[in-house]
Structure 1
Amino acid sequence: MTAMPDRPVRDIVAPRVDPPRMFSSVLVANRGEIARRVFRTLRRLGVRSIAVHTDADADAPHAREADHALRVPSYLDVDAVVAAAVSSGAHAVHPGYGFLSENAGFARACAAAGIVFVGPGVEALEVMGDKIRAKEHVAAHGVPTVPGFSAEGLSDDQIAVEADRAGYPLLVKPSAGGGGKGMTVATGPDDLADALATARRVAAAAFGDDTLLLERLLERPRHIEVQVLADAHGTTLSLGERECTLQRRHQKVIEEAPSPVVDAKTRRRLGEAAVAAARSVGYLGAGTVEFLVAGDRLDEPFFIEMNTRLQVEHPVTEMVTGIDLVEQQLRVAAGFALDLPEVRLDGHAIEARVYAETPSRGYLPATGTVSLWHPGSARVDSAVETGSVIGSLYDPMIAKVIAHGPDRETAIARLDSALAETVVLGVDTNIADLRALLADPAVRAGDLDTGLLDRRGTPHAVKPTPDALAAVAKRVVDAGSPADGSVWGRVGAWRAGAAAPGRSVFLEDDAGVVRAVGPAEVEALVTGGPGEFWVHADGGAHRLRPVSRRAAAERRRAAVGRAPGTLDPDLVAPLPGTVVAVHVADGDTVETGARLVTIEAMKMEHTVTAPHAGVVRLRTAAGAQVARDAVVASVTPAPSEPHDLAGIPASDPIPSHKETLP
């Protein structure tokens, strides 16, 4: 192993002498890939694993993999989860991440029931669980923090005064919770009211607390976090840093360890600050201290928060240190002292989060049934398998793909290969977009900042390759072309007394492009039919729909007769969810880009906006449940207002109103 450029940061005090004993059974109060990840370590240690599941997850992989599984009405139901732990005979509860993992009330309830909570103490959960309190607390212990202020107890007018003093731009975020949920940016006084309203609404829905914190938004910042471990015997140490700068809407997408820009001096400074923050609350177990650094001042890290749990991105630290963090969590919770060799970094590791989402629709979460799942040749922590149903109740992340190499360039190349081999058919994913991101020159060079992904914008739907098209065409032909309603279509091409000529099949892709394709035997995986097929070929997945010759001709004629830039007045829900806000009244006249309806789904808000000026007719109301592509409003152009897209040549693709996003 290659030696770290400096020794790990440790802080050791007098040891405790309680005799340790490993647990014989552990309940994992979580679901999906994190539950399966914890089970993997439990199996290796010979510890009985216990799962909990809701009705929606009764047949989920994590519920079937555990040695024992119990139903709970909700993963957030403290009483039900603790009762499940007691009834199953669990000696400890591992909370995973998300859900109840940072809930001090849950930790207290476990202790009251005589069950060990695999995590820090209540003080750490309470202090670090409140961003305002955490910032004030660590600042008092010498940890540098981002300039800002708490909005607790302040009126909007008072907040505006404090915001002027702090200086714009400002990041408005919930004090409770994490994961970037509810974070909004106010670039100036005119944006502040909307930013406050949005952040409060999301915070109340996601965390039950709408208290806000406002901080100076650093220009072109990098997000760097430090993994810490601490035991009850007085040892606290850092395991190096992770680069988590590649984010979209404050949600991490790609993480790596170590950071490509952190040198030995900065690594030590980060480690010392992280250890100080952990020691200040008597931390136990695995935790992550997160910092922001300005792109032009990498030697000045600012504390932003501490996650008092295991992180989604913990595998990259495991791969460069060789330390199983879940095992260390369990050992610390059981009373063992940390007994690790000198921490050294071996090469480079990089992780990509695979989401069920549609990048070409603004990365909106996607739902469906996984018709085929096959992981690539790398470490893959997954929540799904063939047949899994991806619904709208939980986070859309379905897997993590992690690669390791002797250097960063090799690790990136191995991750790209593993993503190309990863097969997910039946539901949209971001795999193609992840591969495009890994090929970005800025990413290759390590020239990163947290706004890079948002600046790249919304990608176009990926064009299917010739092999993908040919494979689906062959499947359609072999099935008798069910898209063609005639008997001749079912029989296929033939000619009396002669060999059948080559036959073309009309296939429509997700961009609405129809192509005539000849079938061929190619290397590809195909599922689905008769009206929709999924195919994996050439390292990517595509959805294709057969259309009849008549339908293809009608679409061509409609395209020829349509005025360039003409938009459909009907506006649809970009995904299934709940209407949480209606911003206009029926019959209002609006301008292009006006906010009409906001829909909440998967703990995220999505706003439908007017594609052109005109008169609004509402088709929904606040509180209504809507399906994907359901019409929620229409905007009819006023007679005096032109409603084409001036300046766009007729030959260019015309954007659809169905892809209008916040």
Structure 2
Amino acid sequence: MFETVLVANRGEIAVRVIRTLRALGVRSVAVFSDADADARHVREADTAVRIGPAPAAESYLSVERLLEAAARTGAQAVHPGYGFLAENASFARACADAGLVFIGPPADAISLMGDKIRAKETVRAAGVPVVPGSTGSGLSDDRLADAAREIGMPVLLKPSAGGGGKGMRLVRDAAVLADEIAAARREARASFGDDTLLVERWIDRPRHIEIQVLADNHGNVIHLGERECSLQRRHQKVIEEAPSVLLDERTRAAMGEAAVQAARSCGYSGAGTVEFIVPGGTAPVGETPPEPPVSAYYFMEMNTRLQVEHPVTELVTGVDLVEWQLRVAAGERLGLGQEDVTLTGHAVEARICAEDPARGFLPSGGTVLRLREPHGDGVRTDSGLTEGTEVGSLYDPMLSKVIAYGPDRPTALRRLRAALADTVTLGVQTNAGFLRRLLAHPAVVAGDLDTGLVEREVDGLVPSEAPEAVYEAAAAVRLHELTPRGNGWTDPFSVPNGWRLGGAPAPLSFDLRTTGREPVTHRPRGTHTVTADQVSVALDGVRHTFHRAGTWLGRDGDVWNLLDHDPVAAALTGAARAGADSLTAPMPGTVTVVKVAVGDEVAAGQSLLVVEAMKMEHVVAAPHAGTVTELDVTPGTTVAMDQVLAVVAPHTEAAPHEEVAR
């Protein structure tokens, strides 16, 4: 076993790897950018090395600086985690050239399986079924469009490199193929440095099932069962579980064998995942899949790294996948055969991300002011957070993972819902409350899943309004802050009781606003108890208790930042200067594309700018037909949320109140 391992990553996966290194008695080396100088993974490692400024290209993606850090600390091996350089064949080769062991598969396997086009051809030759789609690499935009039309709408555009849903585009209308191909190339180039695309037939209402494989350098390859990853939003997994309720033992064995053959076909070693798509309606829950099993699923891709969702496999198999990555990389043979792998119980994982469901799941940011992460019987949290952590727009929005285990699926789901309700992350908007509601959806409880379920049901899982109790709690905080305290005389004019000369007390009210909601004027009517970290209010005989940090409130995984709203001041701010004509930044991030100039005529809905944050692109479109009268940004401009980017004056004559707003 190695004496010292450098962890070439950050956040929760770096903390996760360091935990196993510590258990094995291996010295850990963390690396950090200027943005992560006080991060949790830095604190928990045995030593840490600064590798550059905040942008990933100058730190976590710098092969030269990572190798320098390994040399300075005497590391013998490098664990890449996932993301960043984890599936970068050049990095794996550079490690070998520097005398370091890359804790992952051979560079040739990374290169082969990282090219989705070559990967499909390779596994097809090994007898593994693949999704129908385009053939050949380096296809031009015109040839991609021709292949899409030949396959027939709808189709899925996919980057040949990378993964995680980045650059994937579902196209149902051939008329928008050109725009979608351009957008997919742009996002793929930004995410992976490679804009090669392929096109595949879109399978309606599919299930996404992946098989965990483990291989050593002595020719032994096994699988550790499957994970159900069908609950996705924008092609990004949000909930994963093991095992899948869809598979019986015969189909599990067949898919497992197909995954093993896929791994053998590329000379794989270490931990990896083979992803399959299962057409909708293949086998209703509780029924036996049709004959023959091989016709029921198609190979999509192989992830040549540890997966985000690896904890659910660990919990149902008892196998520490990070430990076996280390042991295989150190030259050991697998200590277990296929007959030794058993799946016991059920595990479900939820990904906690910095995003705001009330604003269409746009990335969020801020400082973690108060943090409580669930642990206990059957609950595990993998996290990179501490109180004081700054969540910015430079890195992936995933903050942590909450995983629950039980003897059966209902128990695991129940424990995970309770754990999410017990999750407190004040200071940053997250999706924890949304995930708790998703896990209670009847289709999820029944195991009737497909990759489009979340998108179809999202409106019912994101409340359109904040509960009255939230505003009552915010008003209680304001009252608490306004009430004078002291043991001596109190000035009666400073007491917020609505008293006025010559008349009945005026009803107290507070103008409040929270992100993604319209401002509300709230008159408190309940009884309240306010402390430094909690607010308790009683309304209509029901008591509601919230966690509190300043103006932030949290309950059952949901968080709200309730700010004072001044309608006069709001009308005078730059954000309101053009009213409905202004285009504002939907999230803090960087403008990557500007398609117009001042004076251009634009159509309603026309794409004008692209803002990127946390590896996510958001297209800013014209609110109506008109003329671009202001343009305040250029490519590369860093913007704050709600910052005005441009103004489009409508073709029709403006109403008088609109003129005043301008």
Q: Normalization by structure 1: what TM-score?
A: 0.86
Conserved in 2, the CA contact under 8 Å of 1:614 and 1:638? yes
Match of 2:206 in 1: 221
Conserved in 2, the CA contact under 8 Å of 1:151 and 1:214? no
Match of 1:520 in 2: 528
Question: 1:339/1:595 Cα in 2 relative to 1: closer, same or farther (>3 Å)?
Answer: same
Give the AA of the match of 2:433.
A
Query: Do structure 1's residue 598 and structure 2's residue 577 form an aligned pair?
Result: no
- The CA deviation at 1:171 is 1.0
For 2:154 and 2:546, locate their aligned partners in 1 and report how far apart those are by CA, in whole Å: 49
2:514 aligned to which of 509, 518, 522: 509
2:266 aligned to which of 251, 262, 281: 281
For 1:640 and 1:505, locate their aligned partners in 2 and report how far apart those are by CA, in whole Å: 37
Q: Which segments of 5 or more consecutive residues in structure 1 lack a partner in the other structure? A: 1-21, 559-565, 645-662
What SS does the aligned partner of 2:523 have? strand
Match of 1:357 in 2: 355
Give the AA of the match of 2:419.
A
- The CA deviation at 1:135 is 0.9
Aligned length: 603
Conserved in 2, the CA contact under 8 Å of 1:613 and 1:643? no
Match of 1:431 in 2: 432
Q: Deviations over 1:400-440 (max 9, x none)?
A: 00011122121111111000000000111111211121122
Match of 1:39 in 2: 18
1:625 aligned to which of 622, 629, 638: 638
What SS does the aligned partner of 1:310 have? coil
Match of 2:417 in 1: 416
Query: Do structure 1's residue 370 and structure 2's residue 368 form an aligned pair?
Result: yes
- The CA deviation at 1:456 is 2.9
Match of 1:329 in 2: 325
1:521-540 aligned at under 5 Å gives the runs 521=529, 522=536, 523-528=545-550, 533-537=551-555, 539-540=557-558
Give the AA of the match of 1:33.
E
1:577 aligned to which of 567, 578, 589: 589
Question: 1:165/1:568 Cα in 2 relative to 1: closer, same or farther (>3 Å)?
Answer: closer
1:252-331 aligned at under 5 Å gives the runs 252-297=237-282, 299=293, 300-331=296-327
Question: 1:618/1:170 Cα in 2 relative to 1: closer, same or farther (>3 Å)?
Answer: farther
Conserved in 2, the CA contact under 8 Å of 1:471 and 1:526? no
Question: 1:360/1:488 Cα in 2 relative to 1: closer, same or farther (>3 Å)?
Answer: farther
For 1:198 and 1:110, locate their aligned partners in 2 and report how far apart those are by CA, in whole Å: 33
For 2:470 and 2:147, locate their aligned partners in 1 and report how far apart those are by CA, in whole Å: 57
Question: 1:272/1:641 Cα in 2 relative to 1: closer, same or farther (>3 Å)?
Answer: farther
Question: 1:262/1:615 Cα in 2 relative to 1: closer, same or farther (>3 Å)?
Answer: same
For 2:512 and 2:588, locate their aligned partners in 1 and report how far apart those are by CA, in whole Å: 26
Q: Deviations over 1:577-605 (max 9, x none)?
A: 22222344434444432222211222221
Query: Do structure 1's residue 126 and structure 2's residue 111 form an aligned pair?
Result: yes
- The CA deviation at 1:461 is 5.5
For 1:111 and 1:126, locate their aligned partners in 2 and report how far apart those are by CA, in whole Å: 15
2:474 aligned to which of 472, 475, 479: 472
For 2:146 and 2:620, locate their aligned partners in 1 and report how far apart those are by CA, in whole Å: 31
Q: Deviations over 1:25-50 (max 9, x none)?
A: 11111100000001111111111111
- The CA deviation at 1:334 is 1.1
Question: 1:535/1:488 Cα in 2 relative to 1: closer, same or farther (>3 Å)?
Answer: farther
Conserved in 2, the CA contact under 8 Å of 1:506 and 1:517? no
Query: Do structure 1's residue 113 and structure 2's residue 98 form an aligned pair?
Result: yes
For 1:489 and 1:277, locate their aligned partners in 2 and report how far apart those are by CA, in whole Å: 78
Question: 1:103/1:165 Cα in 2 relative to 1: closer, same or farther (>3 Å)?
Answer: same
Conserved in 1, the CA contact under 8 Å of 2:209 and 2:275? yes
Conserved in 2, the CA contact under 8 Å of 1:614 and 1:641? no
For 2:218 and 2:561, locate their aligned partners in 1 and report how far apart those are by CA, in whole Å: 56
Match of 2:148 in 1: 163
For 2:350 and 2:33, locate their aligned partners in 1 and report how far apart those are by CA, in whole Å: 28
What SS does the aligned partner of 1:272 have? helix
1:126-165 aligned at under 5 Å gives the runs 126-150=111-135, 152-165=137-150
1:12-91 aligned at under 5 Å gives the runs 22-73=1-52, 74-91=59-76
Question: 1:268/1:114 Cα in 2 relative to 1: closer, same or farther (>3 Å)?
Answer: same
For 1:231 and 1:593, locate their aligned partners in 2 and report how far apart those are by CA, in whole Å: 53
Conserved in 2, the CA contact under 8 Å of 1:612 and 1:643? no
- The CA deviation at 1:463 is 4.0
- The CA deviation at 1:449 is 1.4
Q: Deviations over 1:139-167 (max 9, x none)?
A: 11111111112463333333333333222
- The CA deviation at 1:636 is 3.0
- The CA deviation at 1:621 is 4.3
Q: Deviations over 1:248-304 (max 9, x none)?
A: 111111111111111112111110110001111221111000011111235421111
For 2:144 and 2:466, locate their aligned partners in 1 and report how far apart those are by CA, in whole Å: 51
Question: 1:359/1:80 Cα in 2 relative to 1: closer, same or farther (>3 Å)?
Answer: same
Conserved in 1, the CA contact under 8 Å of 2:476 and 2:524? no
- The CA deviation at 1:115 is 1.4
- The CA deviation at 1:495 is 6.3
Q: Normalization by structure 2: what TM-score?
A: 0.86
What SS does the aligned partner of 1:114 have? coil
Question: 1:144/1:641 Cα in 2 relative to 1: closer, same or farther (>3 Å)?
Answer: farther
For 1:404 and 1:495, locate their aligned partners in 2 and report how far apart those are by CA, in whole Å: 56
Give the AA of the match of 2:303.
N
Question: 1:602/1:538 Cα in 2 relative to 1: closer, same or farther (>3 Å)?
Answer: closer
For 2:513 and 2:462, locate their aligned partners in 1 and report how far apart those are by CA, in whole Å: 15
Conserved in 2, the CA contact under 8 Å of 1:121 and 1:284? yes
Question: 1:113/1:488 Cα in 2 relative to 1: closer, same or farther (>3 Å)?
Answer: farther
2:649 aligned to which of 626, 636, 643: 636
**Deviating more after overlay: 611-620 vs 391-400:** 611-620
1:380-459 aligned at under 5 Å gives the runs 380-457=381-458
Conserved in 2, the CA contact under 8 Å of 1:359 and 1:461? no
For 2:313 and 2:656, locate their aligned partners in 1 and report how far apart those are by CA, in whole Å: 53
Conserved in 2, the CA contact under 8 Å of 1:508 and 1:515? no
RMSD (CA atoms) = 2.8
What SS does the aligned partner of 1:479 have? helix
Conserved in 2, the CA contact under 8 Å of 1:35 and 1:62? yes
Conserved in 2, the CA contact under 8 Å of 1:348 and 1:406? yes
